[in-house]
Amino acid sequence: IKKIGVFTSGGDAPGMNAAIRSVVRTCAYLKIECVGIYRGYQGMIEGDFKTLDARSVNNIINKGGTILKSARCDDFRTKEGRKKAYDQLTKEGIDAFVVIGGNGSFTGALLFTQEYDFPVIGIPGTIDNDILGSSFTIGFDTAINTVVDAIDKIRDTASSHNRLFFVEVMGRDVGHIALNAGVGAGAEEILIPEQNLGLERLLDSLKRSKASGKSSSIVIVAEGDKIGKNVFELKEYVEEHLPIYDVRVSVLGHMQRGGNPTCYDRVLASRMGVKAVESILEGKSNLMVGIRDTNLVLTPLAEAIKAHTEIDEELIRVSDIMTT
**In the complex, least distance from residue 104 CB atom to ligand ATP, rounded to whole angstroms:** 2
- Is 168 marked as a binding-site residue? no
Query: Smaller CB distance to ligand ATP: residue 236 or 303?
Result: 303
Query: Smaller CB distance to ligand ATP: residue 120 or 234?
Result: 120
Query: Smaller CB distance to ligand ATP: residue 73 or 287?
Result: 73
- Concerning whether 128 is annotated as a catalytic residue, the answer is yes
- Is 248 marked as a binding-site residue? yes
- Is 266 marked as a binding-site residue? no
Query: Smaller CB distance to ligand ATP: residue 186 or 259?
Result: 259
- What is the C-alpha separation between 54 and 23, in angstroms, rounded? 10
- What is the C-alpha separation between 160 and 84, in angstroms, rounded? 59
Q: Which residues fall within 8 angstroms of residue 139, CB to CB, at 6 or more apart?
A: 13, 14, 15, 16, 125, 126, 127, 257, 261, 265
Catalytic residue among 12, 48, 128, 225: 128
**In the complex, least distance from residue 41 CB atom to ligand ATP, rounded to whole angstroms:** 4
Q: Which residues fall within 8 angstroms of residue 279, CB to CB, at 6 or more apart?
A: 121, 287, 289, 298
User: Residue 136: which of 301, 289, 324 has the closest Cα?
Assistant: 289
- Is 188 marked as a binding-site residue? yes
- Is 258 marked as a binding-site residue? no
For the beta sheet containing 217-222, the strands, ordered from the edge strand earlier in sequence to the opposite edge, are 189-191, 217-222, 163-169, 246-251
Phi, psi for 250 (deg, rounded to 5): -135, 120
**In the complex, least distance from residue 54 CB atom to ligand ATP, rounded to whole angstroms:** 27
Phi, psi for 98 (deg, rounded to 5): -110, 120
Residue whose Cβ sits closest to ligand ATP? 104
Q: Are 256 and 177 in contact (CB under 8 A)?
A: yes
Helix axes 176-185, 140-160, angle to 10 degrees: 50
**In the complex, least distance from residue 10 CB atom to ligand ATP, rounded to whole angstroms:** 2
Query: Smaller CB distance to ligand ATP: residue 77 or 248?
Result: 77
Q: What is the DSSP letter of 188?
A: S
Binding site for ligand ATP (CB under 6 A): 9-11, 41, 72-73, 76-77, 101-105, 107-108, 111, 126, 128
- Is 104 marked as a binding-site residue? yes
Q: What is the DSSP letter of 122?
A: E
Annotated binding site for Mg(2+): 103
Annotated binding site for ADP: 21-25, 155, 186-188, 214-216
Annotated binding site for ATP: 11, 72-73, 102-105
Annotated binding site: 11, 21-25, 72-73, 102-105, 126-128, 155, 163, 170-172, 186-188, 214-216, 223, 248, 254-257
The set of catalytic residues is: 128
